[in-house]
Amino acid sequence: EDNTTPEIGQINATNPCGEQPLLSGESCNLGSINLGNFVNDKEFQEDRFIEIIRTCVRFLDNVIDANNHPTDKTIEMNSLTRKIGLGLMGWADLLIRMDIAYDSDEAINLADRIGAILQDTADRYSSHLGKLKGDFPAFDKSTLNIENGGEWETMRNAWRLSIAPTGTISMISNCSSGIEPLFGIAYKKHNMSAALEGIELFYINDDLKKQLDENIIDEENEDINLDKYLDGGGDIRSLMSEEQNKIFVESPMISPKWHVKTQAVFQKYVDSGISKTINLPNEATKEDVEEAYTLAWELGCKGITVYRAGSREKEVLVSTNNKTTNKTTTSNVEKVLETNVPQPRNRPSTVPGVTEKIRTGHGNMYVTVNFDQQTDPFEVFTNLGKAGSSDSANLEAVSRLISLALRSGIEPKEIVNELRGISDLPVWDNGKLILSAPDAVAQVLAKHSSIDSIEKIGVDITQSDGNNKTSDQNNGNGINHNTENKNTIPEQPKVGMPCPECHGSNLIFEEGCLNCHECGYSKCG
């Protein structure tokens, strides 16, 4: 119903991140305004904001003509509708600098005010450009046209607004991403020169660091070096006031309701879509997910991305409180150990099997699972890329070891546990996130082993110290709590995943994308 040019085509789908539901042949033309730059003495600078909106609308409109489009179809469609997508970033920074909590009615009211200004100014200025430079060619039959029941006599751009992912440009601009809350206020960050010296650097939110540098002292009235304090295991929240802990809120600490309400209030004013992630805790249920989607629908969101913390990490996700599945896993391992050294079964000359084609970050892969007479998985073969390539050789080694394990009596779910969650170049395949080639093999093996979901696999998630020993200072989500720590503020759930580019641990799901807060790696969808 928001298609302003139904006469020239229908909208069949959004782009991978969800902020641009375009006609066939159209392309994204996006830009974002850093809201954190519009604060003076804790007041929002409305006049400057309006001025910048006008500049950005004109700039993005000029980009359409200056751009080298890849095909004749995109040239035709972009010229017909001249859609642009001006959006926002730095929302969390703005709130912090105005002493407003992200999860508060005050923040929602401010979002309502800013969204209204953004829409009104962008629409009016695009209409002004229509008078100066001409309407977009499809305007005559557009629903925007006053002669067709719309509100405008002139309009340069069929759409004006879209809040898109800003993972890379927000890092370059040193601001928070889109309309997301902060990923973290203090975390380890790596760079090449520091790594060569064996040094791990701490990133501390600039606004928080400025506030703490002015007030931070220890019990003996001595200044505290924040980097040394954090490196020694200190919790930065224990140094913050009660008010600061409310203002400097991190994404996992915010209830899904406030995530949805924030997106919904901006959606009222954005004619295209919004890319945002609704973060759920690790223990979230199907009912919690349903509630988030239902609330988003009720409040008028065009679409949402839901991410349950830890659901894409290598850490196994079964609760340590699930005694039944833990006992099952233990008994299965004991059965294998009781046989002394496992002896692989001989392979019959003929075995039945299935082959599946699955998309990976390195191209299409074919996974064959063969079965024994009891219809249990017996061996696995894989084919990826050209023979002789390192990817193909590594995967062949993996499939041979899987086959050896299966023929030696290892349960398929144990193999799936080891492979599932390994991350390299994540891609989507038929609605499923494929983190890597081994992860793809695990998903195919699980499918043909009657393993409905990874959550049903009984495995203890207590942390390993690298020697198969587990830590008893664990909260069930892979978070180690030192019982001797004197901090009064509980540590919040970790949301970072391993980055396939820099191998750091600050790859997070936000704005509908995977963004690394260390090296800037970004993967949409």
pLDDT tens-digit readout, 202-218: 788 999 988 887 666 55
User: pLDDT digits over 30-75, tens only?
Assistant: 999 999 999 999 999 999 999 999 999 999 999 999 999 889 999 9
Q: Confidence band (pLDDT; 50, 70, 90) for 489?
A: very low
| Cα-trace Rg, the chain | 26
Mean pLDDT across the stretch 97-116? 98
Residue 322 has φ and ψ, to the nearest 5°, of -80, 85
d(CA 170, CA 277): 16
User: pLDDT digits over 428-448, tens only?
Assistant: 888 888 989 999 999 999 988
Identify which of 75, 71, 81 has the alpha carbon closest to the alpha carbon of residue 8: 81
Which part of the chain has CATH 3.20.70.20? 6-178+255-308
pLDDT > 90: what percent of the chain?
46
Give pLDDT, residue 232: 74
For residue 457, pLDDT beyond 70: no
User: pLDDT digits over 361-375, tens only?
Assistant: 888 999 999 988 778
For residue 192, pLDDT beyond 60: no
Which top CATH class is 6-178+255-308? alpha beta
The dihedral region occupied by 223, where left means phi > 0, alpha psi between -120 and 50, and beta the remainder, is beta
Which residues in 281-404 belong to E strands, given as ranges? Answer: 305-308, 353-360, 363-371, 377-384
Mean pLDDT across the stretch 491-514? 68
Catalytic residues: 15, 17, 19
Confirm if 112 and 120 have CB atoms less than 8 A apart.
no
Looking at 75-84, 118-127, 165-174, which range is the least confident one?
165-174
For residue 426, pLDDT beyond 80: yes
Q: Confidence band (pLDDT; 50, 70, 90) for 239?
A: confident
Give pLDDT, residue 265: 98
Give pLDDT, residue 216: 65
For 345, residues 6+ apart whose C-beta sits below 8 A from its C-beta are 372, 378, 407, 408
Give pLDDT, residue 189: 66
Buried b (16+ CB within 10 A) or exposed e, 314-331: bbbbbebebeebbebbee
Give pLDDT, residue 373: 79
d(CA 449, CA 261): 41
User: pLDDT digits over 317-334, tens only?
Assistant: 232 333 333 444 444 444
- Ranges 267-276, 392-401, 426-435, most confident: 267-276
The type of residue at 267 is: Q
Give pLDDT, residue 467: 37
- The pTM (predicted TM-score) of the whole model is 0.64
For residue 25, pLDDT beyond 80: yes
d(CA 102, CA 183): 13
d(CA 108, CA 258): 9
